[in-house]
Amino acid sequence: MIYSELSRIVGRQSMLKIEILAYALCEVPSENLEYLNMSDIRDILRSCKDTEIREDFRDYVVKSLSMECPICTSSFPRSHMEKMFLCDHTCCLDCIKIYYRSTVKEIGDPKALKRLTCFIEQHDILDEVKLNFFQYLGAKVSYNSSI
């Protein structure tokens, strides 16, 4: 039943990949599965071809479903994590919203805007990315204002 449902949603997949996914789901803490969605499953299953299943596929699945947020230290699926706009640091969606909202309130001058670029290190906001950065930031700060 799982195989036929997943095949309907993500396309025909190798039975072996489905089995590995099922075993990996058993290793993931149940609280992580609260945020799991079908796009996570689709991305995981499509990460390798049926004929070339990687040896570390199970570990990849577990890691993809159990990424730790460095701010709140909770674990989430990859889809619930957000990469900072100007670097590769990631944190959960809730923490990134809280970080941006609290940091925006503390900005007092244009030089302090660099604090918005990352929760770990500051980056220069180059002229060619300013518009995109501020559009991204505006979307993150205004999205779901209950946080």
Q: What is the pTM of this model?
A: 0.71
User: How many angstroms separate the CA atoms of 99 and 106, rounded?
Assistant: 11
Pairing of strands 90-92, 81-83: antiparallel
User: How many angstroms separate the CA atoms of 49 and 145, rounded?
Assistant: 40
User: How many angstroms separate the CA atoms of 107 and 136, rounded?
Assistant: 17
DSSP H or E stretch at residue 102: helix 93-106
Spatial neighbors of 92 by CB under 8 A, at least 6 apart, are 69, 71, 72, 74, 76, 80, 81, 82
Mean pLDDT of 45-61: 85
The alpha carbon dihedral of 15, 20, 21, 26 has a sign of positive
The pLDDT, as a whole number, for residue 9 is 62
What are the residue boundaries of the structural domains of the chain, listed by start? 2-65, 79-142
- What tens digit of pLDDT does each residue of 16-29 get? 888 888 888 888 88
Task: Say which residue, 118 or 50, is predicted with more confidence.
Answer: 118
Mean pLDDT of 109-127: 84
CA 3 to chain centre: 25
